[in-house]
Amino acid sequence: MTDKNMTSLTIRRPDDWHLHLRDGAMLQAVLPETARHFGRAIIMPNLVPPVVTAAQAVDYRERIMAALPGDMTFKPLMTLYLTEETDPDDVAAAHASGIATAVKLYPAGATTNSASGVRDFEKVRPVLERMADIGMPLCIHGEVTDGDIDIFDREAVFIDKVLRPLRKKVPDLRIIMEHVTTQDAVDYVRDTHKNLAATITTHHLIINRNHILVGGIKPHFYCLPVAKREGHRIALVQAAVSGDKRFFLGTDSAPHTDPLKLQACGCAGIFTAPNTMSCLAEVFNAAGALPKLEAFASLNGPRFYGLAPNEATITLTKGDPVAYPTHIDTPDGPVTVFDPGFDLHWSVTSN
Ligand code: DOR
Ligand code: ZN
């Protein structure tokens, strides 16, 4: 049987290495969508106000666990939002106590709720050096924010202007370049043999910039970093299906209500939590690479983070198209679920 003819696949339960759960009613509504299929997730700290201190991370983790339905098991892995005021001792203490798995670096102004992020990278160097000493990973939103850099070039420019110099100055820092969208990022990670990995989202494996702009603007395909040309998408698929241990899944599932997406200045973010595993099975199956899905979704991530893979498994089964809801309801309004533009034949069962 060739890979393309497979009809069933059992893999270790996957983890999501980049997830936005928000807070309050939205958290309550979206958390089950991830916990249904995923064992753990790296939780983004870009709340308002952001999760900066260990105490805030403890509180947020409690709110997440309180929102988890009683019949579900899920482990949130918390991150601290890096600011220019972050104290290296606080970060080290948060790591030692187990509350913070990683630190998140947003260049100031790069995306949703990133205003408290980093403007001057030299100012956070003491924190980064301490993290390198203690082996704590840094998750990076890799886009420059300069107004004169084209939005489609911001990731590639970040690699040259920020990431290369930073990695020279703090070579022992373990870095995850998050939600990579370009051939440039894939090449950079492939050419680097130490302390660097990248996450790839579900949607960037499926859409290119035409999906956003051709035939009318599609706000539900708008996210940051914005999807690039088709050639870049193909490079991402090749990286994801390659089995290369440096690439793993971080969905960047980022719920916003429809009123916030569908307005003159719509929010960036695509909500992929409900159907991510079915979408990925289609992508990997089409590439003749289904047996590599486990590495991408369930093995490479824990390996980079120094954790064991989940013991539990899920089974993906191919059959008639699976009907996922088009949106989920929240008290603040509906949240539209990512529409990949093709039928999803793979259903997911937790074992
Ligand atoms: O599209 C995005 N949405 N990209 C980000 O970096 C942030 C996220 C959000 O929080 O909505
Ligand atoms: Zn994100």
Q: pLDDT digit string (tens) for 188-224?
A: 999 988 999 999 999 999 999 999 999 999 999 999 9
Tens of pLDDT, residue by residue over 253-265, are 999 999 999 999 9
Under DSSP, the state recorded for 75 is E
Whether 15 is a known active-site residue: answer no
Provide the whole-model pTM. 0.97
pLDDT at 5: 80
Which residues' Cβ are closer than 6 Å to ligand 1?
20, 46, 111-112, 141, 223-224, 254, 268-269
pLDDT of res. 111: 72
Contact 289, 347 (CB under 8 A): no
Q: Which ligand is nearest to the CA of 252?
A: 2
Residue 75, pLDDT above cutoff 60: yes
Span 133-144, average pLDDT: 97
pLDDT value of position 1: 46
261 alpha carbon – ligand 1 mean position (Å): 12
Average pLDDT, the chain: 96
- In CATH, what number is assigned to the domain containing residue 107? 3.20.20.140
Kindly identify the ligand whose nearest atom is closest to the C-alpha of 204.
1
290-307 confidence digits (pLDDT tens): 999 999 999 999 999 999
Q: Is the pLDDT at 15 greater than 50, yes or no? A: yes
Share of the chain above pLDDT 90, in %: 94
Residue with tokens 């790839």: 200
Q: How far is the CA of 160 from the centre of ligand 1 (A)?
A: 23
Instruction: Work out the average pLDDT over 92-120.
Output: 90
* Domain membership of residue 70 as a residue range: 3-350
Question: From the centroid of its chain, how far is CA 137?
Answer: 15
- Mean predicted confidence (pLDDT) in 99-107: 96
Minimal-distance CA residue to ligand 1 atom 4:
224
Give the total number of structural domains in the chain: 1
CA of 256, nearest ligand number: 1
Is the predicted pLDDT of residue 3 greater than 80, yes or no? Answer: no
DSSP state of 332: T
Task: Identify the active-site residue in 252, 258, 332, 339.
Answer: 252
267 Cα nearest atom in ligand 1: 11
The enclosing H or E element of 50 equals: none
Task: Tell me how far the alpha carbon of residue 112 lies from the centroid of ligand 2, in angstroms.
Answer: 8
User: What is the rounded average pLDDT of the residues 231-253?
Assistant: 98
Ramachandran region of residue 252, left (φ > 0), alpha (ψ -120 to 50) or beta? left
Q: What is the pLDDT of residue 331?
A: 94
Q: From the CA of 113, give the closest atom in ligand 1.
A: 10
In the structure encoding, which two tokens stand for residue 316, read together?
């993906």
